[in-house]
A = this chain, B = another copy of it.
Amino acid sequence: MAKIPGKPVRGSSSGRPIMVLFDVLGKRWTLRILWELHKGKAASFRDLQSKCDDVSPTLLNSRLKDLRALNLVVLDDEGYTLTREGVSLSRKLAPLDAWANEWAKSLDA
């Protein structure tokens, strides 16, 4: 069941876009799927599955449905790819990689 901005979502009756986004990103594998698609261009269903540590097909399909409904991912001849919106979102997420590395260092110290 996909959520569309403007409609209420889990834990927020407002339907504010940021809450809709948090709702979907707060589900397991969503961030990872976006991450893998961002790195590697188009991927088949099974490709994606193996990139995502062999996530179960049930859940992968469920997440892809969500992401397609939210216009972040599409399935075309090449396989699954990010839409324009999906690319722009993943660009916002990209800096988290460098951030996480610095963070990990600070945890060691």
Contacts and interface: CB of A to CB of B under 8 A. Distances in A.
Interface of A: 4-6, 10-13, 16-22, 25-32, 35, 52-53, 55, 70-71, 85, 88-89, 92, 95-97, 99-101, 103-104, 106-108
Contacts of A29: 11, 26
A11 B100 CA distance: 17
B17 A71 contact: no
Instruction: State the main secondary structure of chain A at its contact with B.
Output: helix
B20 A31 contact: no
B106 A71 contact: yes
B26 A31 contact: yes
B5 A22 contact: no
A18 B35 contact: yes
Interface-centre pick from A5, A13, A22, A31 (highest chain B CB count, 10 A): A22
Given A25-B26, A106-B85, A107-B70, A52 B11 contact: yes
A18 B96 contact: yes
A78 to B, nearest CB: 22
